[in-house]
Structure 1
C-alpha cells in the first residue's frame, strides 16, 4: 500500500479515539454517548457510516458482522440509526479534514 493511502487510512482510524477526548464537540449528549461498551461502539458506527449504502441497511449490517466474525448478533437497523444520531455532523467534517491534513 502506498504511504499516502496508508497515512490517510491511519488518520481515519485514529480520529474516533481523538474525538472521545473532546465529546462536547462531537456528541449530542457528552458524558452519556459512547461511554459504555456496546455492539455498536463509536468505531463501528463510524466505519459503517463511511462504508455503507451499497445495499440495504439490514444486508450491510449482516455482512459487516459476518466479516468481523464477532460471534455477536447483528444489531437492528434502528440501533444503527439511533447510534448515528448520537454524532454531530461536525464529527464527520472534522474527521475528513483531519484525514487529509
Structure 2
C-alpha cells in the first residue's frame, strides 16, 4: 500500500485532444490533494499556454523528477503522455497511485 504521507505529488492524466485539455478534472483533484496537505505539481499549471506535445512533455518530465509520487487521473492509460510519466516513475522506483484512492484514504 502506498504511503499516505506523500511529500510531493505529480498529477498525471489525459489532456491531449480532450475539451479544454481536460483542465477541470485536474483542477478539482489538485484542490483535493492540496487540501490534504500535499505539494502538487500540475502539468496544466506548467503549460498554461500549451505548446507542442514534445515541449509540454519535456517541461512535465523535468517537474516529475522533483516528485516522489505520481497520482493518476481516470483514463490515464489512454494517454501517451501519462503512460510515459507512469513508466518513468515506475522505473525509478517512485510511488504510483490512483489520485482518487489517495484522497479517499486520507479522508478516512
Structure 1-normalised TM-score?
0.32
Greater per-residue helix proportion: 1
Q: Which has the larger radius of gyration?
A: 1
Q: Which structure has the higher relative contact order (CA within 8 Å, separation 6+)?
A: 1
Greater per-residue strand proportion: 2
Structure 2-normalised TM-score?
0.30
